[in-house]
Amino acid sequence: MASNYTAKDITVLEGLEAVRMRPGMYIGSTGPRGLHHLIWEIVDNAVDEASNGYANEITVTLKKDGSCEVTDNGRGLPVDIHPKLGVSAVEVIYTQLHAGGKFDDKNYAYSGGLHGVGASVVNALSEWCVVDVYVDYTHYQQRFESVEDPKTHKILSGKPVAPLAKVGNTRKRGTSVCFKPDPRVFEEIDFNSDTVRHRIRELAYLNKGVRFIFTDERIRDEKLRRVEYMYEGGLNDFVSYLNGEKTALTEPILYEGSLSDIRIRFCIQYTDSYTASIFSFVNNIPTPEGGTHEVGFKTALTKVFNDYARKCGVLKEKDNNLSGEDFREGLTAVLAVNVKNPQFEGQTKGRLGNTEVKSQVENWVDEKLSIYLEDLKNQASAKVILEKAIKAAKVREATRKAKDLARQKTELESAPLVGKLSSCTGRDAKLNELFIVEGDSAGGSAKQGRDRHFQAILPLRGKPLNSEKKRLDQVLANEEIRSLITALGTGIGEGFDISRLKYDKVIILSDADQDGAHIRAILLTFFYRYMKPLITEGHVYMGMPPLYKIQKGDKSIYCYDDKELASAMQGVSKGYTLQRYKGLGEMNPEQLWETTMNPEGRKLTQVSIEDDAEAERMVSILMGDKVEPRKDYIFAYADFNKKDDFKPVGEEGGRA
């Protein structure tokens, strides 16, 4: 190690070098989430043109060569020469960090891409990027490439091949950006068609009247290759879509308007479900972690309905107010605000931090919901909402003791785990793992085969309850669910506290059959409904046990799917034995450790939520009460010839 630390040891990263050196700082990761974030950055710029009234059509195209093209019919990027840098504005935008037209409100009243790094980051992390601008009846184009310096062998990111040039005349208007992610940066460079399509549809709901066209040229079927989205109903249509598989108790309640310099829109609808689903956005950017706008919305909702309950006599003077949790049971809500200077946490924009937004949203929502409740034609819906909240409050009080059991470390709480949970000896939660194992047989093997220093085992005796179909008190009455809550130590629902999590990794380990898949679905539904941060913060995994074992002499080869089996069988001469594992219980402790539990060689699939709204809809379809939507989905998407339940992508590198 060098003993002297001087000025010559300070590395200065110029231009876009810093982005390529630390891509995670700008796009979150170099995995699938970061890869798709490149598309969102360019799409956000196009949507900014539309949401500010300059464009009404946006196209996103996934091309056969692995590139993505985003086009809008807005004003087109400025093409004149920058007065200080002496190059075109296009070149400045795509080669300089923190350069753009969104740092004041002269060009955009509201913008999602406020950091000024989106376009340049996409260029820096692409193998090549081509920008076409159509303005003043002229077509301009500039190409950028990331090339290797022949002297230093370092990658020079996003360098212009030539200055911005006139290509010809045109009647088109707008900007088109086509880029190909650099395989030297990303773990994989194949865009997921469903991921992109879902986000495009979401943007169409948020920007009513704007036409979004999505094309995946890699799809052979012409009917599936191209799809258009445009919704004149906006948030009303969005909420109706989200609740399509639920039983609605009220019509959607929609309000749109402005207060000071903030534009606010919300739409709510109550269903017969037992959980709340709130989706919030700031300048068209999803805020899955909420923020001040969501806090203001929830506060107003609780206050308005409590005041109305007292005015109607449903709540007497001696009665306590109902909680926000009571009024949110069965609620589906979409909240969209536009803020001139939003303060997001990080470049990926997961949470809004502007303190002034809370009171502005709260006051505006309070006013609009009060108007709604005072209208005589809405009395029937208001009565339904109050009745549901009153029932929720009674259930909440009845289950208070059960919830306390889930939160507190008492002898009574630990009692259900006697003979069940095999704890680990390590006390560092960041290193510890909890395996949720199907059945006593597999649980016995896992207990013997584990490393007890950091691995705990919780065997399930029977299937847990499907929390999508039951009230909270019914869910907590299930012994397997109670054991799981106790083992994790975080509490659930409104009282969930991630800081009390006892295990960094919660690994679902079930058989690769229908029962095993059902158990995984039930557990994931419970986590999604009552312990959502477990998933969003990356603590939930699915273990991948092998399906086959090839044995020849003292050599064993484990195969995790049919493709691996076929490859292994080609490499082994005659005289081997083949074993098909029907369940984890067929493995002895040594085999289970070697194939499934040893961090050095196991395969885990990390569970994540890429599209919160679509995840909400999928849980309702697959785990809800209505049979027909589930049957339709299965017949439309299930591959009955596929033998694998899910595809492992490697230790801690996959997603489900």
Q: Is 372 left (phi over 0), alpha (psi -120 to 50) or beta?
A: alpha
Coil, strand or helix at 260: coil
In angstroms, the CA 47 to CA 72 distance is 8
State the number of CA atoms in the 13 A half-sphere of 642 facing the CB: 7
Question: Beta strands 577-580 and 548-552: pairing type?
Answer: antiparallel
SS3 of 497-512: the string is CHHHCCCCEEEEECCC
Catalytic annotation, residues: 438, 511, 513, 515
In angstroms, the CA 572 to CA 569 distance is 5
In angstroms, the CA 107 to CA 110 distance is 9
Q: Is 465 left (phi over 0), alpha (psi -120 to 50) or beta?
A: beta
Q: What is the DSSP string of 261-330?
A: TEEEEEEEEEBS-SS-EEEEEETTEE-TT-BHHHHHHHHHHHHHHHHHHHHHTSS-TTSPPPPHHHHHTT
**Which residues make Cβ contacts (< 8 Å) with residue 46, sequence separation at least 6?**
55, 58, 70, 71, 72, 74, 175
* Beta-ladder partners of 142: 131
In angstroms, the CA 464 to CA 487 distance is 15
DSSP state of 7: G
In angstroms, the CA 89 to CA 104 distance is 17
Say how many Å lie between the first and final Cα of the chain, rounded: 42
* Beta-ladder partners of 141: 132, 165
Numbers of helices and strands, H then E, in the chain: 23, 22
Would you tell me how many other CB atoms lie within 10 Å of the CB of residue 98?
A: 9
Would you tell me how many other CB atoms lie within 10 Å of the CB of residue 307?
A: 16
